[in-house]
A and B are shown apart, each in its own frame.
Chain A
Amino acid sequence: MDNSSAEQDCLSRPPWQKVSADFAGVYQKHSRAIYYLSLRFLGDEQKAEDATHDVFLKAFRRLDQFRGEASVRTWLYRIAINHCQNLCSSWHNRHVLASSDDAVWETATAKTDSPLRVLETKELGQRIQKTLDALPDEYRLLLLLVADEELSYEEIAALVGQSADAVRGKLHRARKVFAAHFQKTS
């Protein structure tokens, strides 16, 4: 097979076959993002490790369902979000605040324009986790997704099933609430 026909063959392959051919590369490129989301969403290292394994295994099993309409990263995030939300669903109603009602949060949003100051970086993870645990699931998820520079607002909106404008509005509130809670953890 000459070069041009090899290229043609590669181009004509369905997206899932391209992913399948380099699944280890996919793991290497995206595992940190998936592990980090799982870690901060679930708040437990062992659960995050199990979740990351399960997410990539599910992706591997469902390779033929990858159509290439979204990026591989977005596809993996979708599996991860569903997986983490399913894990949380059993205790969700008992542990999460009843709603993300602004009235609950506005009282805690004073002085949120100042920078977030960290004295000990080794304690940073604990403070971030404590802060995220205090937020409604929706805010926590949006903050974690928007922190990934590879995702656009449109991709985040598609992942959470909302419009990009709605995501921007909620993110504005989520950032304020995060900053207020984070300052309290110092």
Chain B
Amino acid sequence: MKQQTKLSENKEHVAEQQTQSDPAKEFASSDELLRFDAAQTTVPPGIAQRLQKSAAEIRPATSRSWWKNVFGG
């Protein structure tokens, strides 16, 4: 019984730690908030692949080299 209590206490402690790992944040302005949001945003990798294909259709001879350098293919 005592052990169960200890276990549940430990779970509570872990849950508390998890909550603490995502602490409340304060932003002084909308600019700061949006900058934070932008920095958290990841560009989907599929866009580069689509672009590579589209660019190759426009200028097959010249477009290949620079896309190839960075995105491969």
Q: How close is B24's CB to chain A, nearest CB, in angstroms?
A: 5
Q: How far, in whole Å, are A4 and B58 apart by their CA atoms in the complex?
A: 34
Q: How far, in whole Å, are A44 and B15 apart by their CA atoms in the complex?
A: 33
Does A3 make an interface contact (CB < 8 A)? no
Does B16 make an interface contact (CB < 8 A)? no
Question: Interface residues of A, CB < 8 Å — how many?
Answer: 45
Please determine whether A118 and B27 come into contact, CB atoms closer than 8 angstroms. yes
Residues on A with C-beta less than 8 A from B43 are: 31-32, 35, 52
The contact string, 1 if C-beta is below 8 Å from chain A, for chain B 6-32, is 000000000000000010111111110
- In residues 19-50 of chain A, which contact B (Cβ within 8 Å)? 20-25, 27-28, 31-33, 35-36, 39-40, 45, 49
- In residues 111-129 of chain A, which contact B (Cβ within 8 Å)? 115-122, 124-125, 128
Question: Interface residues of B, CB < 8 Å — how many?
Answer: 34
Please determine whether A116 and B38 come into contact, CB atoms closer than 8 angstroms. no
Residues on B with C-beta less than 8 A from A125 are: 37, 40-41
Please determine whether A53 and B50 come into contact, CB atoms closer than 8 angstroms. yes
Q: Which residues of B contact A (CB under 8 A)?
A: 22, 24-31, 33-38, 40-41, 43-44, 46-48, 50-51, 54-55, 58, 62-63, 66-67, 69-71
30 residue pairs from A and B, CB less than 8 Å apart: A24-B69, A27-B48, A31-B43, A31-B48, A32-B38, A35-B41, A36-B37, A49-B44, A52-B43, A52-B47, A53-B47, A53-B54, A56-B47, A57-B51, A60-B51, A61-B58, A115-B27, A116-B26, A116-B33, A117-B24, A118-B25, A118-B33, A120-B22, A124-B40, A125-B41, A128-B37, A143-B31, A149-B35, A175-B29, A175-B30
